[in-house]
Structure 1
Amino acid sequence: MTDKSAAIAAPAAQDTRGKEEAVGNVSRAVPNSGVTAWLQVLGAFCLYFNTWGLLSTFGSFQAYYETELLAANTAFEVSTIGSLQSFVLVFLGFLAGPLYDAGYARHLLVAGSALIVVGTICQSFCSTLWQLLLAQGLCIGIGCGALAVLSVAIPSLWFTTRLPIANGIAGIGSGLGG
């Protein structure tokens, strides 16, 4: 019997605390609890808060833009800001996922956080549609796109059996952020 067939035939361990997870040739214990693991969930909560939560607030921005800042523009033109931001966030998963897998999680975290902060600051100085497209649509969208993959991936590194509750707690951040 080969190693692979023995591993398939072996019954699953009932004790999930400290369950071994093999990735390539590296094996590590998945804690399923502990302060560090729950702090990771808190971090994922904050990432959801600042990505999907921020994205879901665009309706408030659009109402302000249509009545005050960009009153000369049509509702369609103003909505392109939020559409661009949404598209960039979702599309960047295509690029951010492989970067995360290659070990660049901290780089994504730093770059995404910096882009959201810079985009928000630039947004406060904007007075025309094209400026908001660049600041909010592109800059904040790219920042959110870099962080969104992390919010989904981080809890799965720390939980196996408690993963649904960990993802649920982290996911609440998107609703509270909105």
Structure 2
Amino acid sequence: MSTLLKDNKELSSTITESKAIYTYSYHVEDKSDDARSDCMSQSTYAKGGNESEEKCLSADDGGYGWLVVFGAFMGVFTIYGVTNICFVGGVFTPISNLLESVLGARRTLLIATILISGGCLAAGSATEVWQLYLALSICFGMGFSIMIMVTSKTVPLWFNRRKGTAMGIVASSGGLGGLILPFGITSLNSSLGASWYGTKGNIEFVKEKTLPTKRAIINPCDVLRLSLLRDTNFIIWSLAASLQVSYMNMLFYFLPSYATHIGLDTMKGSALISVTSATTFVGRLFVGALADYAGNLNMCILFNVVTSLASFFIWTFAYNFVGLLMFAITYGFFGGCYLALVAPIVRTVLGPERFASGFALMSFIVAPAYAGPSIASALENVIPIEPFLVFKLYTGITAFASAVAVLILKLRIKRQLWAKI
């Protein structure tokens, strides 16, 4: 009898272990299937076939994806470091998407490189103002739009868990370029003249070879999918993004003038811009990494709230260099989160299937918001209050309004205040 009981216990133990092993295997396979499904849903924009599946599955937050990040980082570094024409670039979004749908990402980036290089060459040789408009606004602006659109849509496709980190690295290059390149450009302009500027774009041919050939859009008719305008969450995010864009570059336009207004010399004003660029570089790295752990929408809300508070309570009362330095550090770190979070948030709101078309449409909608500094300047001229107070209030109000809009969007997606989204 005791031997029989012992055999039964051993049999029960074996069955239990088998169930545990089966259960574990089931969950692992299920998790793998989910990852495969999510990954393949991201690659539905690709050319298709087994090759796309293998590439997607092998690009699980590493490997070739980091080369994509490096190529995008270098492209954005040179573009944002030299000039900022985002308004014009956003207008050319439909052309960018149409080219990508027909030619694929690599060929489209090659066209962007040619346009950027050609625009720089033409600008360096311009003798009339209208020639600068054609060179920078049309030629360079179109290349700018193509470069930013393709890299912003391509990078998230190579990552599942670290999309925020990857986009944070890419977006941070704008701050780094704004910090480093002006010093070199000033020296080169003094020694070689403005015409040297045209040679800058040639480096793009090398570094963009690292980007994949995934196509973001299959049907050219989906260049701007207007049906997305019926999606309430998409509209809310477009509004929040527009508010962020409208204040994002405010400090770079007016901080040197404000420094001169309160009695500081021009060197200190330039130093404040350099500090802002440096902290923007660091801040975008941090917000991307933090977003992977705490959620993209959560970080967007937090960084906008801090930017708003800094504008109201630091910039408003900053009448000396120390006060402005504190504000430049705070604003630089928290105020530039948009470029690091915009692509992951669009993917969160619309899903991977509608991400490419949604990102294009949102960029087109947001483009006029880059005129925010001009709007604030116009208000400054008509409202009879303390000089530069309009810029301070405009920045604080738009940042806070953006945080509120993102909070509403988060609660619509999931009615839990502390949920990771």
Distance 1:88 1:172, change over 3 A: farther
Of residues 299, 316, 322 in structure 2, which corresponds to 1:124?
A: 316
TM-score normalized by the length of structure 2: 0.32
Paired residue for 2:213? Answer: none
User: Could you tell me the percent identity over the aligned residues?
Assistant: 14
Name structure 2 gaps, 5 residues minimum: 1-32, 41-47, 53-156, 161-224, 375-421
Of residues 27, 38, 42 in structure 1, which corresponds to 2:239?
A: 42
CA distance in 2, matches of 1:146, 1:162: 20
CA distance in 2, matches of 1:171, 1:101: 27
Paired residue for 1:176? Answer: 372
Supply the RMSD in Å over aligned alpha carbons. Answer: 3.1
Paired residue for 2:257? Answer: 63
Of residues 48, 69, 81 in structure 1, which corresponds to 2:272?
A: 81
Distance 1:90 1:168, change over 3 A: farther
Q: Is the 2:297–2:345 Cα contact (8 Å) retained in structure 1?
A: no
Task: Figure out how many residues of one structure are paired with residues of the other and give that number.
Answer: 151
Relative contact order, CA 8 A, sep 6+: which one is greater? 1
Give the deviation of 1:132 after TM superposition: 0.7
**SS of equivalent to 1:161:** helix
Paired residue for 1:16? Answer: none
CA distance in 2, matches of 1:163, 1:143: 23
**SS of equivalent to 1:57:** helix
List per-residue Cα deviations over 1:9-32 (Å, max 9, x = no partner): 27x9xxxxxxxx9x86xxxxxx96
Name structure 1 gaps, 5 residues minimum: 13-20, 25-30
Distance 1:94 1:108, change over 3 A: same
Max Rg structure: 2
Higher strand proportion: 1
Paired residue for 1:133? Answer: 325
Q: Is the 2:296–2:345 Cα contact (8 Å) retained in structure 1?
A: no
Distance 1:150 1:174, change over 3 A: farther
Distance 1:49 1:90, change over 3 A: farther
CA distance in 2, matches of 1:77, 1:125: 18
